[in-house]
Amino acid sequence: MSGGGTSRSPAAGGSYLGGALRIAGKDLRLEMRRLTGLTSMLVLAIAIVLAFAFCFGLPTLRRLGPERLVPGVLWISLLFSSLSGLRGAFASERERETLTALVLCPIDPSAIYLGKLFSNLVVVGTLEAILLPLTAVLFGWDLASALPAVALVVFLHTLGFVALGTLFSAMVTRLRQGEALLAILMLPLSVPLIISAGKATAVAIALAPLTEVRFWLGLTAAFDALTLAASLLLFGFLVEE
Amino acid sequence: MLDGLSLEIAAGTSLSLLGPNGAGKTTLLRILATLARPTSGRVEVNGLDARGRDQIAIRARIGVISHQTFLYDGLTARENLLFFARQYGVPDARGRAEGLLREFGLWERRDDRVGTFSRGMQQRLTIARAILHEPEILFLDEPFTGLDPAASRLLRALFERLRGSGRTLVMTTHSVAEGLALGDRWAILAGGVLADGGACRELTPAALEARYFEVLETAHGSAPAGARA
């Protein structure tokens, strides 16, 4: 078929990275207005941290030390609370078929994935910025001294987890039982990441050199790179019928 | 499902695709709009391959209007248009978005969230969004579904204006009268095949309706229940 005469169509759309950043900006603006995603994540995460803190009590904390307790508490709360946030990443685009509108824009569909990844990273990062000081206060570890190492460890593991979650969120969004399926798909595949996160966070909190967990950090970096590359390659197929 | 369909739509014409539910109208539109991939065959839009490497180039040249708004309820009218204008790489995105808001009578409500708009206002904004990048081809998938009479009248007027602008329009509809009134050509899809077609000016609504039911009776053995209602 052929187009008509008087119109003037651009030869190509906006830039790839610009497109991804605009999608992230749009998602964050919507999140700031609703606050439903971040609020529910925060409530769940804080509830988990508080429950653990009061269950362990001071004697356990003194006996084991924060480096033995905090990694588990931190990553369990982050894992479960961010799962609830990741579920909404694509579900909101189904409401008015806006995902179709995004696919119709003349930018490679993987830019949609990248945009969603950026916005999810900002939301989960905000959650982490609140949880880290909270665990420092409740479990008595030195956040100021450990911050550079902890930030690196948390970022590396969050990137892999959110990259995987964003991809699976797109996969299950059309399915009726999508929410349950997201957890079923995500948790087994995140096992290497969870083990690595626990070990590396313990080392960072103990103010020990990160070279002690070189293997785990290398594994996580490889996991992140592989997940990102696979997601960018596969995303176009996920949004096409 | 579509089967053995061969169709050519000339530039600047308006085609009304008629057919009952499940005839394949939406599937055809989604294939032409690069949203779905046919299992076999060739699809070209403006000489570009809709099945592969030219998809992004095609998307820059088409607009799609459906009974869904394709708009973010939580963003304002202006934010919605600006976002999509920038995604399409429209030069002077702000000027274009604001021009369309004035043109479609939404300027007074430009900073209100779309979720607070009436269905008619949302439909106007939907059309503005679809033509932001001045597409050469517009696909309209049952655009009148769920509209009240006032919003339908408004959409019809806008459709006439788009027709006058020389764009190629492809519209799916259940309504024979609507298809005939708004199209230059009509085609009937039944059971995934192109069953009949012709020029709209050659037929009266009654004659096309008779042809429509004749085609459906041939395709299905009898007209679908309630089709004449």
Q: What residue ranges do the domains of chain B occupy? A: 1-17+33-66+137-204, 77-134
**How far apart are the CA of A2 and the nearest CA of chain B, in angstroms?**
4
Summary mean pLDDT of chain A:
89
**Range picked from A30-39, A180-189, B98-107 for highest mean pLDDT:** B98-107
Out of B47, B72, B134, closest to residue A98 by CB: B72
Residues with Cβ within 8 Å of B118's Cβ and at least 6 positions away in sequence, in order, are B151
Q: Please tell me the CATH code under which domain B1-17+33-66+137-204 is placed.
A: 3.40.50.300
Residue A106 reports pLDDT greater than 80: yes
Verify whether the Cβ–Cβ distance A96 to B68 is below 8 Å.
Answer: yes
* Residue A103 at interface with chain B, using a CB cutoff of 8 Å: yes
| pLDDT, position B164 | 83
Q: What percent of chain A has pLDDT over 90?
A: 66
Verify whether the Cβ–Cβ distance B46 to A96 is below 8 Å.
Answer: no
Cα A144 to Cα A12: distance, rounded to the nearest angstrom: 48
Cα A209 to Cα A94: distance, rounded to the nearest angstrom: 46
* Residue A111 at interface with chain B, using a CB cutoff of 8 Å: no
For residue range A161-209, list pLDDT tens digits in order. 999 999 999 988 877 777 778 888 888 999 999 999 999 999 999 999 9
* A55-69, A184-198, B27-41, B54-68: segment of lowest average pLDDT: A55-69
**How far apart are the CA of B69 and the nearest CA of chain A, in angstroms?**
6
Verify whether the Cβ–Cβ distance B88 to A26 is below 8 Å.
Answer: no
- The H or E element containing residue A80 is helix A66-94
**Torsion angle of C-alpha atoms A141, A145, A148, A150, degrees rounded to 10:** -10
Verify whether the Cβ–Cβ distance A106 to B56 is below 8 Å.
Answer: yes
Summary mean pLDDT of chain B:
87
Q: Which of A132, A121, A144 is nearest to A28 (CA)?
A: A121
For residue range A117-163, list pLDDT tens digits in order. 999 999 999 999 999 999 999 998 999 999 999 999 999 999 999 99
Structure tokens of B157? 């007027």
Out of B57, B75, B170, closest to residue A30 by CB: B75
Q: State whether the Cα torsion B107-B110-B112-B114 is positive or negative.
A: positive
Strand order in the sheet with B14-18: B62-66, B137-141, B168-173, B14-18, B185-190, B193-199
Band of pLDDT at residue B220, cut at 50, 70 and 90:
low
Verify whether the Cβ–Cβ distance B168 to A33 is below 8 Å.
Answer: no
What pTM did the predictor assign?
0.89
Band of pLDDT at residue A12, cut at 50, 70 and 90:
low
Q: Which of A199, A29, A40 is nearest to A127 (CA)?
A: A40
Q: Strand B48-49 relative to strand B44-45: parallel, antiparallel, unpaired?
A: antiparallel
Neighbouring C-beta atoms of residue A226, cutoff 10 Å: 12
Using an 8 Å CB-CB cutoff, list chain B residues near A14: 86-89
Using an 8 Å CB-CB cutoff, list chain A residues near B166: 4-7
Verify whether the Cβ–Cβ distance B35 to A1 is below 8 Å.
Answer: no
Cα A178 to Cα A175: distance, rounded to the nearest angstrom: 5
CB B167 within 8 A of CB A7: yes
Verify whether the Cβ–Cβ distance A1 to B46 is below 8 Å.
Answer: yes
Cα A146 to Cα A32: distance, rounded to the nearest angstrom: 30
- For residue B54, give the DSSP letter: T
